[in-house]
Structure 1
Amino acid sequence: MPPLPPLDSSTQCPAPGRYPATWEEVEASLVRAEAFGASSTRPGLWEELGSHRALIECLFGSVRRIWLAGSFVSGKLNPSDVDVAYLLDASVYGTVADPDDLADLANLSDREWCVKHGMRIDAYVLSLPATLRFKDLGVVGAMAAGDSEVFQILGLYDEIWQRTRHTGRRGYLEVAL
């Protein structure tokens, strides 16, 4: 199992960039690692993230990838929450039509609701582009309708996820599921 990227000494976060990881690698490196053995929050946050992910998967059937960032993806011993973005295939994003399911999705994306229900999760749900073939990207008529906006939104979130409140830029993890 390759280790997650080293933490920058000035920010205690990964250097700017998006780093691939598996679910198991994240758990091993950010929850079970010796450096976090004395953490009073990481094991609970991990369980809450697992529960939250299961609820999102109940609504959509599957999640393709997850972006993880914030204090959970840092050297902080006791982070207060998990920042997560769920990236869904375009074919399932927007398929939730039942009013009750839409309300559930709104709740799962509301930090205050999550905290009230025992999950210290700050979550976002994003679509991946429908265009799958690289050679179709940017070609008029070949790229799926709406993908230009999807790429802009993903770029915006990528930029946001690489920023910190006080110390400049940081990296984050992309977990393939």
Structure 2
Amino acid sequence: MPSLPPFLPATDTLPPGRFPMSWEEVEEDLVWNRRFAASTTRWEIFKEWTLHRAAVEAVLGSVSRMWLAGSFVSGKIDPSDVDVTYLVAHDVYDAHAADSDLAEYLDNLGTRDWCVAQHMRVDARILRLPETVRFQDLGVTGAMAPGDRDVFYQLGLFDEIWQRCRPTMGDTRTDSRRGYVEVLL
């Protein structure tokens, strides 16, 4: 896979879009890149995220892919945390959501305050992927799997959230857009 495009000079973020990377490429480009050599937080945050990912995978057994955004996916030398959305296959998610103890633990893993209490600078969400996979079935009455309308809504919501920028001091733009990374596993 190609490395990330250059950060935009005006925002120090990726250009709008979703950029696929492997786990190893994320570490190489967003932790060890010489641009971040002076960082005092990137490696520590990456280690904390690695532990968090291991906890999510220990509960679920697998994660399909992840969306990575925020200051960790920017030119900021010392980000304060990593924003990550774990995308989980519908059958895996549903099997664990039915178990109240596992569902509570997953809810904790997806709660920023809980992560901070565990000394992890991780702001995480855990989302179910749709059951409907055939393009032909999308939007066809009765063809889409029950509940997938809400699943697609949540995915679209977070896609939109991850592409938004917080305005910087003196920034008068009302719709600053940025890109984010899709970590392929």
Q: Normalising to structure 2: TM-score of the pair?
A: 0.91
- Give the match for residue 156 of structure 1: 157
Unaligned segments of structure 1, at least 5 residues: none
- Give the match for residue 174 of structure 1: 182
Could you give the per-residue CA deviations for residues 80-139 of structure 1, whole angstroms, max 9, x where no partner exists? Answer: 000000001111113223333222112111111111111100000111111111222122
Shift of 1:28: 0.5
RMSD: 1.2
Matched position secondary structure for 2:93: coil
Unaligned segments of structure 2, at least 5 residues: 169-175
* C-alpha distance in 2 between matches for 1:134 and 1:102: 30
Q: Which amino acid aligns with 1:102?
A: A
- Give the match for residue 14 of structure 1: 14
The question of whether the paired residues in 2 share the 8 Å contact of 1:65 and 1:86 is answered with yes
Matches within 5 A, 1:36-47: 36-47=36-47
- Give the match for residue 72 of structure 2: 72
- Moved segments of 4+, more than 6 Å: none
Matched position secondary structure for 1:52: helix
Shift of 1:53: 0.5
Matched position secondary structure for 1:63: coil
Matches within 5 A, 1:1-177: 1-96=1-96, 97-166=98-167, 168-177=176-185
The question of whether the paired residues in 2 share the 8 Å contact of 1:4 and 1:25 is answered with no
* C-alpha distance in 1 between matches for 2:162 and 2:111: 18
* C-alpha distance in 2 between matches for 1:16 and 1:95: 35
Q: Normalising to structure 1: TM-score of the pair?
A: 0.95
